[in-house]
């Protein structure tokens, strides 16, 4: 994605994406479906307080929702980059709708226990794992590039509108109709969004000259990109620092209402609804705040507000104070989540977008899962108030420790394909699966420039690794000072050809800085090497020199 698409500048209108019919209909259908999902989640949390009211079991409902997303989101991102995203979403949502209907029937007939509830919750979370990266990755197909940031924020607004409506509806439906009905209505809500997805015709993809990526190769490529991407890694660190502590009130909220506030399902639904209203209000004022504060300051502000919320939940016995704190919780949540989400989006080129977002989602839900389990166990030992106070203190400490990791670094990059690499010269056709491939590039550098050259090559190393190299090295000829050879290894010939397609405009600038040190009139010599066909090595068994990546 071009770095100018989602920088800190606000778009002309926060509502501009609604000018596009596909975005409007899908956004509306998603709000309806998410209302059903929130009713489902409220019913599950409240039902567990009746089936097994211990803090650890109630926290397991949150963990069972988030754990499968942590476990499956990375593979789901690879599938979303390989397969037709629209059909993938339709299939998974159909499964999720049937699951909700079956659970509703079991609850209505009294055939559910605590472990059955957790099993269905885990299945619902697994479906969500396959939906999330595909759904986020189709957003750039719904609106022009200039409106992408507004679309991302509006998606967050839609989620929180449903969070405001869904719990409140559940709080009314459960006492009047019974606790089975939120599940049954959720099943119906999936029909709406499936219908809109079947109506939508996504833009045709450019013709592919290379075969589709294989699942495991695509997964490894996504992980390599994340490992070598500074902007994405910084975003992930900031996500862990926030979500692992913010998960405390999400995991324990049913017990905060029932045990600390002596409230009912209606109060629980009201507090969740107020969290949603706070998030919507926060999203509406966020563009104005963003003009004055950088993303890092916004996340710090949201973290401070979340710590205050945890303190109020721990110390106040009055429902009114907790309701006000819930509004603040929603505003802080949307502030942090949208800042982190846009930071992740701007760090990702199109070829790895779903996989990169799935890694962000994995870290998000992994932090929520780990936090939910930890806070639930801690509450068993020291009680809910002390647990919430410890989470508040931990969130402040973690935020201070994570300050060196800046957000929105990718907004400064142009990640659109440069297409400036020529096709490699070969003496005969090479089979796509043949490999591994070693590419070597020879440079001649003036001795006085070797230190600066090494620094530039370190940046180039990250470029190679982001785009597919699993090993990299730089060596100097002991007989000819200033004569350097760079090498990098890739899994197969087709993966090297994909590398040609993935090189971005920002990558081209890094390469130009490196080549500026080359003092010969001819460009650096590039050679492509293949392992002999009778003795090919896998990436896992190919050992680069032990000093790979260091300047000798």
Confidence band of 206 (pLDDT split at 50, 70, 90): low
Confidence of residue 292 (pLDDT cuts 50, 70, 90): confident
Q: List domains and CATH numbers for the chain.
A: 16-204+212-412 (1.20.1250.20), 437-530 (3.30.70.100)
The model's confidence at residue 12, banded by pLDDT at 50, 70 and 90, is very low
Tokens 């056709």 belong to which residue? 429
Q: What is the pLDDT of residues 436-486, one digit of tens each?
A: 999 999 999 998 999 999 999 999 999 999 998 999 999 999 998 899 999
- Cβ atoms of 493 and 476 within 8 Å: the answer is no
User: Average pLDDT for residues 519-531, to the nearest whole number?
Assistant: 91
Alpha carbon 493 to chain centroid distance? 30
Percent of the chain with pLDDT over 90: 35
pLDDT score recorded for residue 205:
67
Helix (H, G, I), strand (E, B) or coil at 549: coil
Question: What one-character-per-residue DSSP string does 332-370 give?
Answer: HHHHHHHHHHHHHHHT--GGGHHHHHHHHHHHHHHHHHH
**pLDDT on residue 7:** 39
Q: What pLDDT was estimated at residue 14?
A: 66
Chain-centroid distance, C-alpha 279: 19
Q: What is the pLDDT of residues 370-391, one digit of tens each?
A: 888 888 889 888 988 999 999 9
Distance CA 291, CA 423 (A): 44
Look at residue 537 in the predicted model and tell me its pLDDT: 52
Distance between start and end Cα atoms, the chain: 36
CA 381 to chain centre: 33
What pLDDT, in 10s, does the model give residues 303-361? 999 999 999 999 888 888 989 999 999 899 888 988 898 888 888 888 888 889 889 98
pLDDT value of position 548: 34
Can you tell me the distance from the alpha carbon of 375 to that of 389, in angstroms, rounded to the nearest whole number?
11
* Higher per-residue pLDDT: 427 or 399: 399
* pTM exceeds 0.85, yes or no: no
Q: For 342-355, write each residue's pLDDT tens digit.
A: 888 888 888 888 88
Mean pLDDT rounded to a whole number for the chain: 84
Check whether 519 has a pLDDT greater than 80.
yes
In this predicted structure, the answer to whether residue 164 has a pLDDT above a threshold of 80 is no
pLDDT at 547 > cutoff 60: no
Pick the more confident residue, 66 or 238: 238
Closest CA to 360 of 375, 348, 372: 348
pLDDT at res. 83: 82
């Amino acid at each position: 994605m071009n770095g100018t698409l989602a920088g800190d500048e606000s778009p002309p209108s926060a509502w501009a994406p609604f000018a596009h019919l596909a975005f409007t209909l899908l956004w509306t259908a998603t709000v309806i479906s998410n209302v059903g999902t929130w009713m489902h989640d409220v019913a599950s949390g409240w039902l567990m307080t009746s089936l097994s009211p211990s803090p650890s079991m109630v926290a397991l409902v949150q963990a069972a929702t988030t754990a499968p997303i942590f476990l499956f989101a990375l593979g789901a991102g690879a599938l979303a980059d390989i397969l037709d995203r629209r059909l993938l979403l339709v299939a998974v949502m159909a499964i999720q709708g049937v699951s909700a209907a079956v659970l509703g029937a079991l609850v209505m007939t009294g055939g559910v226990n605590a472990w059955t509830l957790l099993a269905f919750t885990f299945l619902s979370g697994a479906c969500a794992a396959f939906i999330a990266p595909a759904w986020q990755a189709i957003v750039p197909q719904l609106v022009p590039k200039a409106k992408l940031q507004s679309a991302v924020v509006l998606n967050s607004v839609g989620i929180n509108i449903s969070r405001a409506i869904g719990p409140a509806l559940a709080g009314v439906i459960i006492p009047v109709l019974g606790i089975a009905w939120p599940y049954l209505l959720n099943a119906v809500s999936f029909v709406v969004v499936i219908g809109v997805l079947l109506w939508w015709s996504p833009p045709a993809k450019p013709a592919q000259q290379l075969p589709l990526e294989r699942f495991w190769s695509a997964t490894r490529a996504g992980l390599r990109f994340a490992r070598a991407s500074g902007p994405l890694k910084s975003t992930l660190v900031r996500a862990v620092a926030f979500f692992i502590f913010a998960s405390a009130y999400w995991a324990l909220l049913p017990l905060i209402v029932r045990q600390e506030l002596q409230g009912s399902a209606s109060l629980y639904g009201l507090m969740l609804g107020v969290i949603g209203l706070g998030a919507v209000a926060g999203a509406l004022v966020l563009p104005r705040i963003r003009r004055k504060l950088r993303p890092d300051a916004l996340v710090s502000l949201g973290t401070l507000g979340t710590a205050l919320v945890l303190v109020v939940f721990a110390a106040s016995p009055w429902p009114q104070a907790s309701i006000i704190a819930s509004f603040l919780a929603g505003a802080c949540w949307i502030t942090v989540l949208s800042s982190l989400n846009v930071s992740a989006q701007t760090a990702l080129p199109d070829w790895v977008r779903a996989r990169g977002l799935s890694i962000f989602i994995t870290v998000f839900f992994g932090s929520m899962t780990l936090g939910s389990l930890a806070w639930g166990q801690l509450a068993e030992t020291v009680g809910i108030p002390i647990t919430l106070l410890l989470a508040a203190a931990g969130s402040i400490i973690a935020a201070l420790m994570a300050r060196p990791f800046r957000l929105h670094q990718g907004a400064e990059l142009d990640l659109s394909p440069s297409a400036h690499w020529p096709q490699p010269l070969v003496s005969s056709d090479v089979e796509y699966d043949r490999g591994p491939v070693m590419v070597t590039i020879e440079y001649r550098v003036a001795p006085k420039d070797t230190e600066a050259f090494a620094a530039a090559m370190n940046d180039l190393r990250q470029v190679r690794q982001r785009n597919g190299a699993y090993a990299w090295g730089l060596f100097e000829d002991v007989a000819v000072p200033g004569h350097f050879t760079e090498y990098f290894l890739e899994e197969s010939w087709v993966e090297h050809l994909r590398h040609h397609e993935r090189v971005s405009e920002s990558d081209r600038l890094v390469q130009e800085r490196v080549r500026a040190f080359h003092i010969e009139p001819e460009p650096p010599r590039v050679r492509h090497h293949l392992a002999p066909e009778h003795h090919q090595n896998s990436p896992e068994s190919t050992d680069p020199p032990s000093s790979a990546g260091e300047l000798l």
